[in-house]
Amino acid sequence: MKLEFEKILELAKKYEPDISKFLRDMIAIPSESCQEEQVILRIKEEMEKVGFDKVEIDPMGNILGYIGHGQHIIALDAHIDTVGVGNPENWQYDPYQGYEDDEIIIGRGASDQEGGMASMVYAGKIIKELGLEDNYTLVMVGSVQEEDCDGLCWQYIIQEDKLKPEFVVSTEPTDGKIYRGQRGRMEIKVMTTGVSCHGSAPERGDNAIYKMGPILSDLKALHENLMEHDFLGKGSLAVSEIFHTSPSRCAVADSCWISIDRRLTAGETGQHAIQQIKNLPSVKAAKAEVSMYTYERPAYTGLVYPTECYFPTWLIENEHPVCHTLVEAYQGLFKQEPQVDKWTFSTNGVAIMGRFGIPCIGFGPGHEDQAHAPNERTWKQELVDCAAMYAAIPLIYTQKYADKMTKETKNLV
Ligand SMILES: [Zn+2]
């Protein structure tokens, strides 16, 4: 079977109005994390309309659409939940009604990342129409709860749905580049405890808030000294929240706790990051408790799948067959060299490759700086280009790279 890149591009261009319409329909359905049911049903309708071989919704509420029946399992992933709209005053357009002209589409989820799903579904249609099927089964996944707890959906898909793809393409926005990694992250809690007493005689008590003071200074200094990796960049640490308990405004506080957003670069494991904080002199002096948060919010289906808030770093090598597959698809379609880079934010790759070692790679419509911003937008040309890429990737893989896959993929972290 020969890949005719021109035909793929032609067809992708032809479907631009359908891709746009489908994306605007998804945008119009509010779908914050744990409330994705209606958008999932809309995606199901479109997958069935364009001729997917099978469409399933799993007990967590993720949608899995299948193309083909072959031996090599390849997955494309788009999380289809979005964040909220923030302050509506900052939007020039209604975030759900959005806006569209010849070049752009505006609305919540345009770049992050319902656009990826729109391109994926039409890639399915292109594969069917041009007969690009081969010895592969392509699974198009619309995953839930990513904005709340990245990767949880894929923990479920791998461990409970028992889907084990040979590799996964994340369709989060990549600014037209191919992305092969990201820093990991974790959500850490540091807590001090004390003894309350009447605020008129503070010496009778033990103030938990005062104990947090030196800890905050040490954490600020720790951030400055975190290690750097030449590709993924520097680890970081930010105190994001502070809470306390106290019997009254006229009392000494008896507990205080903070939340930390810790980004992990290559060379930093979760255990290492926790130990670093435990080792701080102020933490030791205050006998503060350092722990990781857990996530157990129910999915829209009611399913609860608890996990620790640890999202491991991942980085796939440049010379990996999966990286070559995407580079070759890009060269074939666009007649130029792609840029290979990394995400600043976090994606479902933290579970796919970070936890389970399944090769992961990114190529998606839209731009990272649009994510979570007011007047979020995406570009029609990128939606078309991505549909063409997703249609070409599986066949290039089965024909040239599937037999070059090693048993295990090294996570370069
Ligand atoms: Zn996203």
Q: Hey, how many other C-beta atoms are within 10 angstroms of the C-beta on 78?
A: 28
Neighbours of ion ligand 1 (CB under 5 A): 112-113, 172
> Which of the four pLDDT bands, split at 50, 70 and 90, describes residue 1?
low
CA of 329 to the centre of ligand 1 (A): 23
CA of 80 to the centre of ligand 1 (A): 8
**Given 134, 146, 147, 172, the catalytic residue:** 146
Q: Is 10 a catalytic residue?
A: no
Domains along the sequence of the chain with CATH:
5-183+313-404 (3.40.630.10), 185-295 (3.30.70.360)
- For 209-237, the pLDDT digits (tens) are 999 999 999 999 999 999 999 999 999 99
CA of 81 to the centre of ligand 1 (A): 8
What's the pTM value of the predicted model, to 2 decimals?
Answer: 0.94
> Which of the four pLDDT bands, split at 50, 70 and 90, describes residue 2?
low
Q: Are 51 and 128 in contact (CB under 8 A)?
A: yes
CA of 20 to the centre of ligand 1 (A): 19
Q: Hey, how many other C-beta atoms are within 10 angstroms of the C-beta on 59?
A: 13
**Given 77, 81, 147, 161, the catalytic residue:** 81
Cα separations (Å) of 199 from 193, 203, 205?
17, 9, 9
CA of 75 to the centre of ligand 1 (A): 17
Q: Is 146 a catalytic residue?
A: yes
- For 230-268, the pLDDT digits (tens) are 999 999 999 999 999 999 999 999 999 999 999 999 999
CA of 345 to the centre of ligand 1 (A): 8
Mean pLDDT for 118-124 is 98
Cα separations (Å) of 325 from 118, 164, 221, 339?
22, 19, 43, 14
CA of 54 to the centre of ligand 1 (A): 25
Distance CA 126, CA 122 (A): 6
